[in-house]
Amino acid sequence: MGKTSLPPVVVWFRDDLRLADNLALTNAVRSGQPLWCVYVRPAGAACTTALDWWQTRSVQALDHALRAYGGRLHLFVGQAEQILPDLVREGGCTQVFWNRRYDPAGKATDTRLKAQLKQMGVVVHSTPGSLLHEPWTVRSKAGQPFQVFGAFWRAASATAHYPAPLPVPPSMAFAPCTALPDAQILPDAAVQNLPGWAEAMQPYHAFAEQDAYAQLHDFMAHALQNYAQDRDFPSRDATSELSPFLRTGQITPAQIWHAVAAADAQDGGAKFLSEIGWREFAWSLLWEHPDMSTRNLRPEFDTMPWRVDPKGLECWQKGRTGYPLVDAGMRQLWQTGLMHNRVRMVVASFLVKHLLIDWREGERWFAHTLVDHDPASNPMNWQWNAGTGVESAPFFRIMNPILQSQKFDPDGVYIRTWVPELAGLHGPDIHTPWQATLLQPTGYPSPIVDHGVARARALAAWNAQKSGI
């Protein structure tokens, strides 16, 4: 702990659980005053979703990182609008530092809190933190937000001068925490009562900032060069799996951009950075459409005759549709909190088109089960796949789950990993187990819908909706 009589400054960590490239933390250190590092978890959100669990573990990892510098992360449970003012009052603080959030609820809280703290004579320093471009900054020549990714990313890339990422502050002084209210719960205690389902995901993940860098560098060493060709094949270790770290900020897109730009990986590098660009695009869409997770961005879909089918929905959620690639994806999601991007597209298409279930059901399930659940990328991608988004695949383009399986998992390696009942099937039967002649898989369901019938039903619904029948 630093020995000083200056009052502490508060650093409020949110979606920026890192020490490097953290402008709020760096500015707080530069103030010359000792730090109180704080995280606030909403009351009642102990560990319901996969992301809750990921956040809890990530907060604990940040606490450990701060301890190595002689500090702590103080975790509070409750309303930030109550806790932060109490805290600054207790400590006699005059400055609070945070990196901005852009989701509608976070933005609203921060605006109210900033005004409240200002009234108390406290200066709030809010800085950019989790995007290359703040969501309102990439605009067409006419000053309008872009509706199409290609134009968005061309405009964003044309102005790409990203400052070099900040290092971890070389020295940090921390104030003793005796003045903090009794309500504090330390991160280690928060992980003691995690549910069993969450702990079962543990072997698939690491949470520290160093783990994120290690993963980036490993990806760059073995997969970046061929990223453009290999990224659609779920059994190849061809993508970065950085999305959970980006979600909670153990790594920044600026750190990724600089590392990749320096690697000169040509096509692979450009394609990979454009995927980072899709994340930026999603945030700019959410900024314009704060209700994007509940409202069709194409209003003509408001009259779409979605089916209410709880049984079908449950088969999809549990990975028991009888279509191996769909089921493998849904089971990977349940067991690990992640799913490969190509498979996310296939399962989304299956829910919305083969089962004709409203995309919002799928969006909600992903929000519950993904460790990388992102309030911008999730609805944007669901709307893209459902055909309801501003830029999206047309509804009539219906992915054939058998052809997708044959094309992107030709040897069935991915399917066998997640659907053990099919492990004994070899050759093309792995994609169509109901046609297997030699070995009938036991316990694996028959297809819950016939592809051709479901396709025709989806097109009929779409045509009816278009013509207002």
- The answer to whether 242 is annotated as binding is yes
For 31-34, the CB contacts below 8 A with 24+ separation are: 31/95, 31/97, 32/6, 33/4, 33/6, 33/7, 33/8, 33/9, 33/95, 33/173, 34/1, 34/2, 34/4, 34/6, 34/8, 34/9, 34/173, 34/174, 34/175
282 binds ligand FAD (CB under 6 A): yes
- The answer to whether 426 is annotated as binding is no
Among 127, 210, 226, 341, binds ligand FAD (CB under 6 A): 341
Q: Find the shortest distance in angstroms from Cβ 38 to ligand FAD.
A: 26
* Nearest residue (CB) to ligand FAD, 242 versus 356: 242
12: annotated active-site residue: no
For residue 436, which amino acid is it? A
Structural tokens at position 48: 């319901």
Given the residues 359, 365, 384, 462, the one annotated as active site = 359
239 binds ligand FAD (CB under 6 A): yes
383 binds ligand FAD (CB under 6 A): no
Which range in 30-38, 59-67, 275-283, 311-319 contacts ligand FAD by CB under 6 A?
275-283
Q: Find the shortest distance in angstroms from Cβ 7 to ligand FAD.
A: 38
- The answer to whether 411 is annotated as binding is no
Among 242, 251, 260, 425, binds ligand FAD (CB under 6 A): 242
* 3-state DSSP assignment of residue 376: coil
Given the residues 81, 134, 226, 306, the one annotated as active site = 306
Q: Find the shortest distance in angstroms from Cβ 254 to ligand FAD.
A: 13
* Nearest residue (CB) to ligand FAD, 124 versus 352: 352
Distances (CA, A) of 133 to 102, 250, 280, 297: 12, 18, 7, 23
E-assigned strand segments in 50-130: 73-77, 95-99, 123-127
Q: Find the shortest distance in angstroms from Cβ 60 to ligand FAD.
A: 22
* 3-state DSSP assignment of residue 154: helix
278: annotated active-site residue: yes
Given the residues 134, 226, 288, 341, the one annotated as active site = 341
Distance CA 13, CA 399 (A): 41
Among 109, 381, 388, 404, binds ligand FAD (CB under 6 A): 381
* Nearest residue (CB) to ligand FAD, 82 versus 417: 417
Given the residues 81, 134, 275, 391, the one annotated as active site = 275
- Contact between residue 41 and residue 75 where contact means Cβ atoms under 8 Å apart: yes
331 binds ligand FAD (CB under 6 A): no
Interior/surface letters 268-297, b for 16+ CB within 10 angstroms, e for the rest: bbeebbbebbbbbbbbbbbbebbebbebbb
The interface with ligand FAD within residues 384-413 (CB under 6 A) comprises 385
* Phi, psi dihedrals of residue 117, rounded to the nearest 5°: -70, -35
Given the residues 278, 391, 400, 421, the one annotated as active site = 278
- Print the binding letters for residues 217-236 with ligand FAD: x by CB under 6 A, - otherwise: --------------x-----
Count of residues in contact with ligand FAD, rule CB under 6 A: 26
Distances (CA, A) of 439 to 204, 323, 418, 423, 426: 32, 17, 19, 11, 9
- The answer to whether 232 is annotated as binding is no
* Nearest residue (CB) to ligand FAD, 282 versus 398: 282
- The answer to whether 252 is annotated as binding is no
Structural tokens at position 56: 């809890």
Structural tokens at position 305: 């005759």
Given the residues 382, 384, 418, 462, the one annotated as active site = 382
- The answer to whether 84 is annotated as binding is no
Q: Identify which of 349, 47, 378, 384 has the alpha carbon closest to the alpha carbon of residue 193.
A: 47
Which range in 71-79, 92-100, 340-348, 445-453 contacts ligand FAD by CB under 6 A?
340-348
418: annotated active-site residue: no
Tell which phi-psi region holds residue 184, choosing left (phi > 0), alpha (psi between -120 and 50) or beta: beta
Q: Find the shortest distance in angstroms from Cβ 246 to ligand FAD.
A: 5
- The answer to whether 25 is annotated as binding is no
Among 252, 317, 332, 378, binds ligand FAD (CB under 6 A): 378
- Contact between residue 316 and residue 322 where contact means Cβ atoms under 8 Å apart: no
DSSP annotation of 185: B
* Nearest residue (CB) to ligand FAD, 249 versus 312: 249
345 binds ligand FAD (CB under 6 A): yes
Distance CA 147, CA 419 (A): 39
Among 213, 233, 366, 414, binds ligand FAD (CB under 6 A): 366
Distance CA 128, CA 165 (A): 12
Neighbours of 450 (CB within 10 A): 12
341: annotated active-site residue: yes
Q: Find the shortest distance in angstroms from Cβ 313 to ligand FAD.
A: 15
**Rule CB under 6 A: which residues touch ligand FAD?**
231, 239-243, 246, 275-276, 278-279, 282, 341, 344-345, 348, 366, 370, 372-374, 377-378, 381-382, 385
Catalytic residues: 275, 278, 306, 341, 359, 382
Residue numbers in the known binding site for FAD are 227, 239-243, 272, 372-374
